[in-house]
Structure 1
Amino acid sequence: MRDVVLKKEMKFPNAKVFRAALREYVIKKPIDIKFKLNERTKISVHCKNVCGWRCYASQISGELTFQIKTLTDDCNCPKSFKNSQAKSAYVAKRFIEDFSKNPNWETEMTDETSQPKFKRMYVRFNAQKVGFLGGCRPFVGLDGRPEEFQLVFISDRQKGLIPAIETLFPTVKHKYCVKHIYNNFKVDHKGLELKDALWRCAAATTSKDKPILAMLEWIRVRLMTRLYIKREGIEKDAGKLCPSIQDKLEKLKVESKPFSATPAGSFLYEVAS
């Protein structure tokens, strides 16, 4: 997380992300802060030198999302090389992200014919390069016969598109746009935390220690086995209710013994202890 900017009403997926952004921001400024509140649902900090800089953020009701509610972004304290947020764990993580053990460093010069000037540097593991080049496919190309190419069509789940692509391009892969999927997903699942989780799933090529297809097959077998075990258990039970529901009912019967119910109308009772 680099070049962090904090603004009033800015949102973060959760408190952890906000704390990380706040740490990066105050180290870069720099501002040595003190926490007035550091709770699960609200965080309030101010400059240790009491110059007026302060920031308050809290959790949005019904979501994990954190939002900055107050930000007085004016610190005129003299620059200091001491900052309580620049701890050893932060420094170690920062340098681990910047430097890789891969010895194949690649650089780019602005003009090979003139005096070389450093422009940028690219560091990667060889497996990343091979996987990127081997796994990427071009998007829709309309010149020539699509069957001759390894193409991928990407679209929303509009009913007319699906059979049309299957009919016209039967050998071409057809994927669905995550943005359109998210528009339906967010109706019942709100918040930046769930949005980021959906995009991480969409970008994943492996799940835990297995490739996606192998993981799906593992899940299918687990579900099939679980359903079989549940079915076997139900068939052995002679009751009219599932065993777990029957257990809950028996527990409620015991808990309701101190109470009495007096009829007060059609399916209406007055309960007293």
Structure 2
Amino acid sequence: MQSPKFYVGLTFVSKQEFRDAVYNHAFNNGKELKFIRNDKNRVYVRCRQTGCPFRINAWKVKNAMTWRIASYHEEHEGCGWVYENSMVKSTRVAKRWVKEIGHHVTWTTAEFRKKVKVDEGFELSSKQAYRAMKKAKAILDGEAEESFRKIWDYCLEIDKTNPNTSCHVKKTELLYDGKPRFLRMYFCWEASKEGYKFCRKLIGVDGCHLKTKFGGQLLIAVGIDGNDSIFPLVYAIVEGETKDSWSWFFTLLKKDLQITVEAQQQLTFISDKQKGLLPAFQEVLPNASHRFCVRHLHGNMKLAGFLGKAMKDALWAAAKATTVNSFSDAMTEIKD
């Protein structure tokens, strides 16, 4: 319960759930509470500010595992927002901020402390912030490891509920605790297979790094539908952008999208100039046309020292040229 609303009779499935709700209430309202009684049958909560009438009393329900609020006084008197709160522990902060930390893996301790102070309204020491971030990342890593263990169950469930969807898992030859280890995973949903039949004869492919403890890369192929919108076709998680991984990806793509030799002759692929792509195309899709993304080409040119708006405009003019003469003029301007 991130934002609990207490009232007499509110029932919790366990004492731990009640305690978590109390901590969240304290954090959300900037109050410092204390547990004056915490045994097998009763939990009494009071405000640490002397004279404040705030209280919550919860009792264990007889002959049940649940807990219920027996009495509750909501109002605080004479106590303001507590910035240095003794209830703020690194474990609690880690649980509350685990998703944010997962989305901002490059946060420094100082940045995290500043963010918590702005959003939560309480101070964290450097050690508390460091421990909270470390514990949150441990939670995330644990969730990822658990997810990897469920991959095969996930594929079986897809086969059961969506039988025309392709889901392939490739294992390594290395063993971990006597079991084969995960290497790659590929998906092509039935809806994508059917939708591809109505797409233009153009497929874009690219890869991006996965910023997790385990690394790897995400490969994806997209088409262009009748509205000139991006249409997802297939995607895969692989160990890296290599010739072997791209060849494996294209072989499955070719099968799922039913790209015959005749279909290849009418099809154009667009990509960056990643080294593993070129030999993979020649091996799996030798009859398809292959073009390079201009934005990536311009990025490579900038890295080589060819900067400036004039160079960029000339490059795009060459890419957009529809006649030999206009292309030659643009290329001459690039050379000049």
TM-score normalised to structure 2 length: 0.31
Larger helix share, 1 or 2: 2
Specify which structure has the bigger relative contact order, considering alpha-carbon pairs within 8 angstroms and separated by 6 or more residues: 1
